[in-house]
Chains A and B, each alone.
Chain A
Amino acid sequence: MMRSLSITPAKCTGCLQCEMACSYENEGVFNPAKSRIKVFVFEHEGRNVPYTCTQCADAWCKNACPTEAIQINAATGAKVINEGLCVGCKVCTIACPFGTVNYNHATGKVIKCDLCGGDPACAKACPTQAITYIDADWTGYDKMRGWAARTDTQSAAQV
């Protein structure tokens, strides 16, 4: 089964466990500044929104890369940076409509979410299931189920 990250902002409390898990998994250090997922806190609205790469099927970043450094992991569908090929030109950061590919000045390469090879650390660390890793073809399943539960089947049957 192909899976994808599913984000439900209403469940996010802004604890940043995901950012620390991401930085630890990828950089070996607790450091949100090095995280590929970011939680945006909209203070005056009381909203916390995690945001990261959605792994576009036809990916702008991949299409724009002049060195073919962005490759698809066939098992996960993740668009993965091949650091050996990346020259740090940043064209992908311009091409990405969502801003989820970013340049890392320390390495001279770009960084983005690679789904941790199929076991995303952010989803595992999230205490509220605001970030889950689920069936890519059924990311709407829980939402559908929620609405289904509210459907008034009894009165419909009476009509």
Chain B
Amino acid sequence: MGWHKKVLRVNLTDGSCNAEPLNMQWAAEYLGQRGLATKYLLEEIDPKVDPLSPENKLIIATGPLTGTMASTGGRFSVITKGALTGAIACSNSGGYFGAELKFAGWDMIIFEGRALSPVYLLIKDDSVELLPADDLWGKSVWETDEILHRRHQDPQLRVAAIGQSGEQGVLFACVVNDLHRAAGRSGVGTVMGSKNLKAVAVRGTQGVKVKDPARFMRVVAEKKQILAENAVTGQGLPTYGTQVLMNVINEVGALPTNNAIDVQFNGASKISGEAMHEVRASDGKSNLVANKACFGCTIACGRISKMDQTHYTVVNRPEYWGASGGLEYEAAWALGAATGVDDLEALTFANFICNEQAFDPITFGSTLGAAMELYEMGLISDAETGGTALKFGSAEALTKMAELVGKGEGFGKVLGLGSKRLCEKYGHPELSMSVKGQEFPAYDPRGIQGMGLTYATSNRGACHLRSYTVASEILGIPEKTDPLATEGKAGLVKAFQDATAAVDSTGLCLFTTFAWSLDDFQPQVDAACDGEWSLERLSEVGERIWNMERQFNLAAGFTGKDDTLPKRLLKDAAKTGPAQGRVNGLDQMLPEYYQLRGWDNAGVPTRETLSKLGL
């Protein structure tokens, strides 16, 4: 249970939409969402396929607890071969869309092929139609959302869409749902665009049932109480959102600044969660308007912001005066510290554009940071940028480039390649702050050593959401480890990776893990799903998923050589802060990590490891 046991298969090439039974054997082995959909993808496509070809598939998947009353039970993921990376991509989003899909009676949608001309998918419970989207092509996510609500006369329709960036082939386009929640990373929106699929609109009235409702209700109430009483999920995140981290990470000297030339940013406090609360001199209001929860979430870390109407970006542009998704920590870091910009309103505007046109602020900000370094080295000219000086710290450069990337126009097309391709184009591949083609986020591995191993080994390219050792190394959750030490980090990273893979397969949000361990997920999963779900089984599922993703990447052509970091993190020591004089000690962690994983020296899972995990 937790499932409708129904998959919707949409062949965009021939326009067919068919229901098929969910593979319950795989659900027993891979749980749901991230794990289960990756299993489907691995079984159905050749990992060597060109991500933007019709042979790639795009899966929108819920977890068994999506649409239930478990706290944060609104998550879904988009799984495909990533446009940015060529690796396995799995981007997780909240909002209301995932639960609505479940309520419509569908556990998963598999898109295959490519439509001849733009289409969108309309789901109303069992009724499923592919409809022409020629008039939506060229529209932003926000416009698309409004048009579809008007056209179908249903205010309760939930829409997930790509913006112009995804249509134009910007390689880090997202799928944005409910206006400002995003399946953000690896270019999953670019793959959607390559299939001529503009949007999925869904309305569901069938609800979700669980195996043992009475026990489930008892357990989820207990677990919600734990979230409410925890300092991070009960206070820090509701008050400041993920932005609670900006000043903290800056102080520990792990805030990558100006394309990671520095590890501390002078302007950090100006773009922090605290700053979002401050009253602006211009209009007497604060940037932050309200907290926002995704479906079912009792934490509510989401930020809703309003722009200062006198800010240069929005003067005479009332379409940006309304409340919308405000800065989260990763976006504030990427749009701010990575580019040296400390204008909170400019960051908020750029973030609005990322949502409106659906592209990843992390990759965008990091790519712009790399372009700024190249510009300051004299390698990118004003003629190329259309006259915009790409200097570190320039808010104008940030907001101008955000708009160009959003539309896939001008220099935005070049930035739309992502930093790896951009830096190669200008002859300095080492200036791309990426691993496996994906830019690392807001934690500098020189100041938080475990994050170096996290980035190097992340299956979807550099990412914080694959093993958030920051929790242990900085916040002391579940126990404090020294952020500057490499000892013990291999085991820590492996444990976090496996647990995270399981959590990402439940339908619940990873942010609960500030308060919950896998022991807290286990009784919720067990009360909802068929069969018996022990802690051991859940842990094993996590490890199985991690190794399966690894197999996908190895089959796609990645090797152990790709488990590395940008040279800057390994050679150029941190200049200031507690980590001053240090580089990341990846070479001290990686061999032990391979060993703990049961992989050989080349990073390939041994036969014993695979057979132990049933792979």
A residues whose Cβ falls under 8 Å from a Cβ of B: 13-17, 20-21, 23-24, 27-34, 43-48, 125, 127-128
A101 to chain B, nearest CB (A): 18
Q: In the complex, A128→B291 CA distance in Å?
A: 11
Q: How many A-B residue pairs have CB under 8 A?
A: 81
B277 to chain A, nearest CB (A): 14
Q: In the complex, A30→B291 CA distance in Å?
A: 24
Q: Check B323 for interface membership: any CB of A closer than 8 A.
A: yes
Q: In the complex, A31→B207 CA distance in Å?
A: 4
A17's partner among B96, B298, B324 (CB-CB below 8 A) is B298
Q: Check B365 for interface membership: any CB of A closer than 8 A.
A: no
Is the beta-carbon distance between B209 and A30 smaller than 8 angstroms? yes
B296's partner among A16, A27, A34, A47 (CB-CB below 8 A) is A16
- Set of chain A residues within 8 Å of B364, measured between Cβ atoms: none
Is the beta-carbon distance between A15 and B322 smaller than 8 angstroms? no
A44's partner among B71, B210, B296, B322 (CB-CB below 8 A) is B322
Is the beta-carbon distance between A43 and B324 smaller than 8 angstroms? yes
Scoring B207, B289, B296, B304 by chain A CB atoms within 10 A of each residue's CB, the highest score goes to: B207
Q: In the complex, A34→B298 CA distance in Å?
A: 21
Scoring B204, B210, B224, B295 by chain A CB atoms within 10 A of each residue's CB, the highest score goes to: B295
- Set of chain A residues within 8 Å of B210, measured between Cβ atoms: 30
Q: In the complex, A32→B300 CA distance in Å?
A: 19
Beyond the given A46-B290, A127-B298, A127-B300, please list 20 additional residue pairs across the A-B interface where CB-CB is below 8 A.
Answer: A15-B296, A15-B297, A15-B300, A16-B295, A17-B71, A17-B298, A20-B68, A20-B296, A23-B207, A24-B69, A29-B207, A30-B69, A31-B103, A31-B205, A31-B206, A31-B207, A32-B103, A33-B206, A46-B306, A125-B69
**Closest residue of A by beta carbon distance from B291:** A13
Is the beta-carbon distance between B207 and A30 smaller than 8 angstroms? yes
- Set of chain B residues within 8 Å of A20, measured between Cβ atoms: 68-69, 296
B324's partner among A44, A125, A128 (CB-CB below 8 A) is A44
- Set of chain A residues within 8 Å of B205, measured between Cβ atoms: 31, 33-34
**Closest residue of A by beta carbon distance from B204:** A33
Interface size on B, residues (CB 8 A): 35
**Closest residue of A by beta carbon distance from B289:** A46
Contact flag A127-B292 (CB < 8 Å), given A30-B207, A45-B322: no
A13's partner among B96, B209, B293 (CB-CB below 8 A) is B293
Is the beta-carbon distance between A29 and B209 smaller than 8 angstroms? yes
Q: In the complex, A30→B100 CA distance in Å?
A: 11
Within 8 A of A (CB), among B556-584: none
Q: Check B67 for interface membership: any CB of A closer than 8 A.
A: yes
Contact flag A27-B207 (CB < 8 Å), given A15-B295, A21-B69, A46-B289: yes
**Closest residue of B by beta carbon distance from A126:** B298
Encoded as 1 (CB less than 8 Å from any A CB) or 0, chain B from 288 to 324 comes to 0111111111101010101000000000000000111
- Set of chain A residues within 8 Å of B323, measured between Cβ atoms: 43-46
**Closest residue of A by beta carbon distance from B288:** A46
Encoded as 1 (CB less than 8 Å from any A CB) or 0, chain B from 167 to 178 comes to 000000000000
A51 to chain B, nearest CB (A): 14
Is the beta-carbon distance between B292 and A14 smaller than 8 angstroms? yes
**Closest residue of B by beta carbon distance from A27:** B207
Q: In the complex, A58→B323 CA distance in Å?
A: 38
B300's partner among A13, A23, A44 (CB-CB below 8 A) is A13
